[in-house]
Amino acid sequence: MTAKAALFRTDRIVLSVARLWLTLRHPVLVARFFMKLGYLPNPAAPVRYHELLLWRKVLDRNPLFVTLTDKLGAKVHIRDACPEIAMPKTLWSGRDAADIPPGLLAADVVVKANHGCAMNTFVSNGDPDRVIIMRKASRWLKKRYGRRNGEWAYWPVIPAVFVEERLTLSGGTIATDIKVHVCSGVIAHVWAEDKHAKRSLLFDREANPLPGRDPDYPGEDQALPVNARLVAHVRQAISIAPGIAGDLDYIRIDFLVTDDRLYAGEITVYSAAGYGTWTNPAIAAEIERLWRLDQSAFLRRKHKGAVRLYADALRAKCQSGTKNR
């Protein structure tokens, strides 16, 4: 046996042991993965899209993920990376909703928590009233988001409440959201949604429509009509997103759409908590092709002991896969 073959065999053994160890260490996440997606993952040497996100959850502790997951921290990051893009104004932030200036809640605003998803209330002309808002905010602040699905980057975020200007989104005419999936500076695909009309459409990196449906609006009759303004917004998002994403191995950059301009929205580290699917398998395949684990924070760091053996074995596997593409 040659030295190269012996090293390859050693790497395979290391990755097999790591797979067993990670599966035993995270049984709940592995079981939930199987129940949602129908196959047992390899969290040590991921290949498929959902495995890659599971690997990120259990191993890649990139401190930047915490900043990007924090909705207030993400705004600072976006402003520094791309000062020319508009963002909804933050009108107030704090640790206690009781401190929100009463006048703010008489306008059209959005009250949000910074440390999780689906924690927001849309306020219009003082409705809902201040008591309801404070009650909701109190529940948000007590919640530690991301525990159930292992989304660790939410855990260190210091919970806060903030009030943001409420944009008039172009639902029913253009779209409400544009979400750009980026791998090491390269666009994988774009997902445009109209949450008002319950329609969506996928685009490639050249802003050409793609076949297939997304998890939010999976019916073929829910395809978002293409118009010139939508394509123009998609092209703008494509041009801006890589600058915000930087050299991250994979990230989703979200934008909001109004009639006259594109606004930066949020940054998503764990898209759909790691369980999102598309009816077109080429969508996930393209992310898998572009996602370079050797560009991750975990494999860029120096490790010691058994973790170093594992990192070296995984790095070698990644480099071998890159050569074979």
Domain end position, chosen among 102, 131, 165:
165
Domain assignment of residue 82, yes or no: no
Domain assignment of residue 36, yes or no: yes
Task: Indicate whether 282 and 307 sit together in one domain.
Answer: no
Q: Quick one: what percent of the chain has pLDDT higher than 90? A: 91
Task: Please tell me the predicted confidence (pLDDT) of residue 1.
Answer: 54
Q: The sheet that has 177-183: what strands, in order across it? A: 209-210, 199-203, 186-194, 177-183, 251-257, 262-268
The token duo for 21 is: 């160890």
pLDDT, tens only, 232-241: 999 999 999 9
Question: Residue type at 229?
Answer: R
Task: Indicate whether 277 and 209 sit together in one domain.
Answer: yes
Binned at pLDDT 50, 70 and 90, residue 6 comes out as low
pLDDT, tens only, 286-318: 999 999 999 999 999 999 999 999 999 999 999
Q: Mean pLDDT lowest for which of 20-34, 97-111, 171-185?
A: 97-111
Which helix (H) or strand (E) segment holds residue 33: the answer is helix 27-37
Per the confidence metrics, is the pTM higher than 0.75? yes
pLDDT over 50 (residue 191):
yes
pLDDT over 50 (residue 324):
no
Report how far apart, in Å, the C-alpha atoms of 322 and of each of 18, 26, 295, 317 are.
Answer: 21, 28, 12, 9
Domain assignment of residue 81, yes or no: no
Q: What is the CA radius of gyration of the chain?
A: 21
For the segment 180-202, the average pLDDT, to the nearest whole number, is: 97
Task: Please tell me the predicted confidence (pLDDT) of residue 3.
Answer: 56
For the segment 104-109, the average pLDDT, to the nearest whole number, is: 92
Task: Please tell me the predicted confidence (pLDDT) of residue 102.
Answer: 85
Domain end position, chosen among 165, 200, 221:
165
pLDDT over 90 (residue 4):
no
pLDDT, tens only, 114-168: 999 999 999 998 899 899 999 999 999 999 999 999 999 999 999 999 999 999 9
Contact call for residues 161 and 141 (beta carbons, < 8 A):
yes
Task: Indicate whether 278 and 211 sit together in one domain.
Answer: yes
Residue 104 belongs to domain spanning: 89-165
pLDDT over 80 (residue 282):
yes
Domain assignment of residue 104, yes or no: yes
Q: Mean pLDDT lowest for which of 25-29, 41-45, 117-121?
A: 117-121
Q: How many domains, in total, are found in the chain?
A: 3
pLDDT over 70 (residue 322):
no
Contact call for residues 175 and 192 (beta carbons, < 8 A):
yes
